[in-house]
Amino acid sequence: MRYLHTMVRVRDIDESLDFYCNKFGLKEVRRTENEKGRFTLIFLAASEDEGRSAAERAPELELTYNWDPEEYTGGRNFGHLAYVVDNIYETCQNLSDKGVVINRPPRDGNMAFIRSPDGISIELIQKGPALAPQEPWLSMPNTGTW
């Protein structure tokens, strides 16, 4: 397992980039616009992490801007922790066997979400290309929120 990024939702891209980049000193390393999902992802890295960010896409801070207005309360602006795993199916099965609820199963062979006892979302991402979809994950519904 390897740490990837922490995601924080932002309400104003310009204001956030001014804070994180101009004031705090992080650097934008990549950006994704998703018209279908109506969001923008901006990944930032500290100056000493830029090389690792380029090579490994970690460690980074992910700023998520949802195009539709939303009021963030109760920590909703903090998104999730993210970790890459060697085999997402084995990892999810191991967690499930230990009583951890898989809130968003890895139906796509690439991504799953679980929650900590304190309600912190944790994203699990398949290392390398996505695995072929397989049961029981393929038909497993979401449970709760993630």
Distances from the Cα of 63 to the Cα of 10, 78, 101, 111, 142, angstroms? 6, 10, 26, 19, 24
Q: Which helix (H) or strand (E) holds 56?
A: helix 50-56
123 is catalytic: yes
Give me the catalytic one of 28, 48, 56, 123.
123
The two structure tokens encoding residue 8: 């924080």
Distance CA 74, CA 41 (A): 21
CA 24 to chain centre: 22
CA atoms of 106 and 125, how far apart (whole Å): 9
Contact 124, 101 (CB under 8 A): no
The residue count of the chain comes to 146
Residues with a catalytic annotation lie at 123
